[in-house]
Homo-oligomer: A and B are copies of this chain.
Amino acid sequence: MSTFVVVGGDAAGMSAASKAKRDDPNLDVVVFEKGEWVSYGACGLPYYIKGEIQSLESLVSVTPEEFREERDIDLRTGHEVVEVDPEKQTVTARGPDGEIVQPYDSLLLATGAAAVTPPIDGLDREGVFTLGSMSDGADLREYVSRARLEDELMQPDRGPACQFLETCRGPVGVVGGGYIGVEMAEALAANDFEVHLFQRGDRILKSFSEATSQSVLDHLGEQDIAVHLGASVKELAGGDRVEAVVTTDERVPVDMVLVGTGVDPRTDLAEDAGVELGETGAIATDAYRETNVPDVYAAGDCAEATHVVTGEPAYVPLALTANRHGRAIGKTVAGLPTEGGGVAGTAAIKAFEVEAARTGVLNHAEAREAGFEPLTETITAKSRAGYYPEGGTVQVTLTIDEPSGRILGGSLVSEYGEGAVHRSHALVGAVTEGVAVDELSNYDLAYAPPFNTTWDPVLTAAKVVDGQR
């Protein structure tokens, strides 16, 4: 009987464990998870903090009990793996009852990622949060709930300075204008906080097209989010508690700060075991997600994947890739070698009342490095037939390789519900299959007046950029 050991009980780890056990019930599957939560939807945390989701438990797709009892997986929560010995094929885990040494035939490292610690003073002050784990989510929700409760309690005793204000609470700061920053700006604003968002660069959502970034930025302005662009945050100043965000240019008083400046892959355990990292800093693997160490796999937010456009390793730590690669490893370990596919760098976001998605390569420097000659065009088109009573606009950016016409990347934004995100499905296929823009413009996409104009905005964008070649 063979043993498959998994380190890390979230998306990649539990997908692999479940699939391996399902496809080969004779396999012993052991999962070590250092925390108490497994298989949770961290992507849902902003909506929990916002108050749209009532319990942390509802973010869990499968409970530890279900893994243990229904899926027959030896899931050991509260166990941190401290060493991997590839010679002896064992892992050492530290749990409530001390250390155990567990032999493996196959091993998956699914150790995830940790919030980046940016070079900012005062990160350890009270009132400074990150959002990486379920307990981070619980802390933030508690902060928001307490503030709301205080609002209610303070109401009758409001001082004269407060009486014309909606709330006596001070403003809050969000450092970082990526997915987490923007989603948390929405979650906090929905709870009546005055939100200041600090972004180091000259635009938010920098993996999206410039046009998409600008559209979302404009919308954040409409929603009264104070976005500070080009803001280099030096310090989160205060005493025990944070009192202000200090940049090179200004000092903005705040009661709380969320720091969301990206994640780094957790690779210590792998490195100690002689597992090689790639140039992105994450664990390098082959197409089957196997590392340089035989029978040791890596997947999820700790590992690289191959970009479908550049063919080069990329680090895109997102949920679907973790699930997909975990599942592929599960099949491989159960006896059917399976490639998990590449990444297109696809991402989607809802920001207040707009939605946006991006896929492929949009950045011209990246495109040139991969040997392309990039050309980018952006169009704005109606989201439904012009005469249809509902509807808005969809803005589509396409980046192509000018000589070949190959679609390298796309970015879309629309009002929420007007389909930017689902329409991006067409572009994911195009970048994955290496479709040229004139081919795409001939696609027989679905049309009916409640859903688009005769030429879907994606087709209009293809026609326009094709015309610029």
Show 14 A/B contacts (Cβ-Cβ < 8 Å), sorted by A. Answer: A11-B454, A44-B388, A53-B389, A319-B447, A323-B455, A339-B442, A421-B451, A422-B423, A422-B446, A423-B425, A424-B445, A425-B429, A425-B445, A432-B444
Query: Residues of B contacting A359 with CB < 8 Å?
Result: 444, 446
Q: With the chains together, A435 CA to B459 CA distance in Å?
A: 20
Of A357, A428, A430, A442, most B-chain CB atoms within 10 Å: A442
Q: With the chains together, A421 CA to B424 CA distance in Å?
A: 12
Of A58, A344, A355, A444, most B-chain CB atoms within 10 Å: A444
Also in contact, A385 and B43, with CB within 8 A (given A423-B422, A425-B425):
yes
Not counting A339-B442, A344-B443, a sample of 8 additional A-B residue pairs whose C-beta atoms are within 8 angstroms of each other reads A44-B387, A47-B388, A308-B444, A324-B455, A340-B442, A343-B444, A429-B430, A433-B433
Tell yes or no: A238 within 8 A of B by CB: no
Which A residues lie at the B interface, using CB under 8 A? 11, 41, 43-44, 47, 52-53, 58-59, 61, 308, 318-321, 323-324, 339-350, 355, 357, 359, 385-389, 416-417, 419, 421-426, 428-430, 432-433, 435, 439, 441-451, 454-456, 458-459
Asked whether, in the complex, the Cβ of B455 is within 8 Å of the Cβ of A320, the reply is yes
Query: Residues of B contacting A321 with CB < 8 Å?
Result: 444
Closest-by-CB residue of B relative to A43 is B449
Query: Residues of B contacting A59 with CB < 8 Å?
Result: 387
Q: With the chains together, A321 CA to B446 CA distance in Å?
A: 11
Q: With the chains together, A316 CA to B135 CA distance in Å?
A: 55
Q: With the chains together, A432 CA to B41 CA distance in Å?
A: 34
Also in contact, A449 and B387, with CB within 8 A (given A428-B426, A429-B426):
no
Asked whether, in the complex, the Cβ of B429 is within 8 Å of the Cβ of A446, the reply is no
Closest-by-CB residue of B relative to A434 is B433
Measured between C-beta atoms, what is the minimum distance from A406 to chain B in Å? 13
Q: With the chains together, A189 CA to B451 CA distance in Å?
A: 21
Asked whether, in the complex, the Cβ of B355 is within 8 Å of the Cβ of A451, the reply is yes
Query: Residues of B contacting A458 with CB < 8 Å?
Result: 425
Closest-by-CB residue of B relative to A52 is B389
Q: With the chains together, A134 CA to B386 CA distance in Å?
A: 17
Query: Residues of B contacting A425 with CB < 8 Å?
Result: 422-423, 425-426, 429, 445-446, 456, 458
Asked whether, in the complex, the Cβ of B433 is within 8 Å of the Cβ of A421, the reply is no
Q: With the chains together, A422 CA to B450 CA distance in Å?
A: 11
Q: With the chains together, A58 CA to B386 CA distance in Å?
A: 8
Q: With the chains together, A458 CA to B59 CA distance in Å?
A: 22
Of A388, A416, A430, A449, most B-chain CB atoms within 10 Å: A449
Closest-by-CB residue of B relative to A339 is B442
Also in contact, A43 and B448, with CB within 8 A (given A423-B422, A428-B426):
yes
Query: Residues of B contacting A416 with CB < 8 Å?
Result: 450
Query: Residues of B contacting A41 with CB < 8 Å?
Result: 385, 387, 449, 454
Which of B323, B344, B429, B444 sits near A346, CB closer than 8 Å? B444
Which of B44, B423, B439 sits near A385, CB closer than 8 Å? B44
Query: Residues of B contacting A451 with CB < 8 Å?
Result: 348, 350, 355, 421-422
